[in-house]
């Protein structure tokens, strides 16, 4: 075999190897992350869902867990109600009836982000004094109820405060003179039984910049079996199909964009080059 033909064979092998690695390490946009379905405006990674939500919501590959990231940390998303535009997170430092977790960590939302505090109520536990921010009227039963949990015996104080801010920039538990906090997303059918409460921080979100609507063509994309996404740098809408190609919908063959999260179209280009070289040589 001549040196030129040998070098060309090596080049073809490298191109094919690159295509295999690309398709193996950069899968198309996922429709679920673990047990949690992923729908617009959320996405499993860059190029999926709405570009406005990508910095905040993502799917962790090692744990297959949908996560929310803010300036104070990264939190597991336990559920998403797409019809009500509400997601619920479970901060690792949050206490519940079973386990008290004293913490000095802060919890907050990014002021420029698409999330606001939803239908959940914070309970400050082990407080040295009751803050003027405490809600002494509505939901006041939450404190004596949760303080009946045996786990609260681990706290140095049984002073409790129902804390329900209209907007949440940052919850500083230690700065409020308390040792721990809990958040109740729903009390269910037994409001006096804290063991049955649904614990978590419920957050509302808005889809569009104006709070309404979704990307043009997204509904048709989902009906065709695709996942709504976008193509940098202009963040133009694309429909990411299971095969990896990005189109206007998955019923056609209109390859007009290439998703940054799955570059199979680029792989096909190099595959064509590899085949051409093999034929020519």
Closest CA to 201 of 144, 174, 163, 175: 163
**CA 67/CA 241 separation, integer angstroms:** 23
Coil, strand or helix at 79: strand
Tokens representing 132 are 């003027």
Mean pLDDT computed over 141-156: 91
How many of the other CB atoms lie within 10 Å of CB of 223?
A: 11
Which stretch, 72-76, 238-242, 255-259, has highest mean pLDDT? Answer: 72-76
Which residues have C-beta within 8 Å of that of residue 13, sequence separation ≥ 6?
Answer: none
Any bridge partners for residue 69, and if so which? 74
Strands 227-231 and 201-205: unpaired
Q: What is the dihedral of CA 42, 45, 51, 52, to 10 degrees?
A: 60
**Owner of token pair 């919908």:** 249
Closest CA to 12 of 277, 279, 281: 277
pLDDT tens per residue across span 56-102: 999 998 889 999 999 999 999 999 999 999 999 999 999 999 999 99
Asked if residue 243 has pLDDT above 60, the reply is yes
For the chain, give the mean pLDDT.
79
pLDDT tens per residue across span 198-212: 999 999 998 764 444
Closest CA to 48 of 220, 215, 164: 215
pLDDT band of 135, cuts 50, 70, 90: confident
**CA 42/CA 35 separation, integer angstroms:** 15
Lowest mean pLDDT among 43-47, 96-100, 136-140, 223-227: 136-140
**CA 258/CA 238 separation, integer angstroms:** 8
């Amino acid at each position: 075999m001549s040196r030129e033909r040998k070098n060309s064979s090596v080049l073809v092998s490298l191109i094919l190897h690159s295509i295999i690695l690309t398709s193996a390490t950069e899968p198309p946009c996922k429709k679920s992350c673990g047990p949690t379905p992923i729908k617009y405006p959320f996405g499993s990674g860059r190029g999926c869902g709405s570009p406005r939500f990508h910095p905040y919501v993502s799917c962790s590959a090692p744990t297959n867990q949908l996560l929310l990231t803010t300036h104070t940390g990264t939190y597991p998303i336990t559920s998403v109600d797409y019809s009500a535009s509400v997601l619920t997170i479970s901060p690792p430092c949050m206490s519940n009836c079973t386990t008290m977790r004293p913490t000095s960590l802060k919890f907050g939302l990014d002021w420029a982000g698409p999330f606001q505090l939803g239908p959940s109520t914070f309970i400050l536990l082990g407080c040295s004094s009751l803050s003027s921010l405490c809600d002494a009227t509505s939901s006041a039963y939450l404190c004596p109820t949760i303080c009946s949990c045996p786990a609260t015996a681990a706290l140095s104080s049984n002073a409790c405060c129902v804390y329900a801010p209209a907007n949440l920039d940052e919850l500083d538990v230690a700065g409020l003179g308390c040792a721990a906090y809990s958040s109740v997303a729903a009390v269910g059918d037994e409001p006096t039984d804290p063991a049955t409460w649904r614990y978590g921080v419920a957050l509302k979100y808005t889809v569009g910049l104006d709070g309404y609507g979704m990307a043009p063509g997204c509904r048709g994309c989902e009906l065709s079996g695709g996942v709504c996404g976008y193509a940098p740098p202009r963040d133009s809408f694309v429909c990411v199909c299971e095969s990896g190609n990005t189109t206007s919908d998955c019923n056609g063959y209109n390859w007009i964009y290439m998703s940054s999260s799955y570059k199979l179209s680029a792989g096909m280009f190099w595959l064509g080059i590899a085949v051409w070289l093999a034929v020519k040589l």
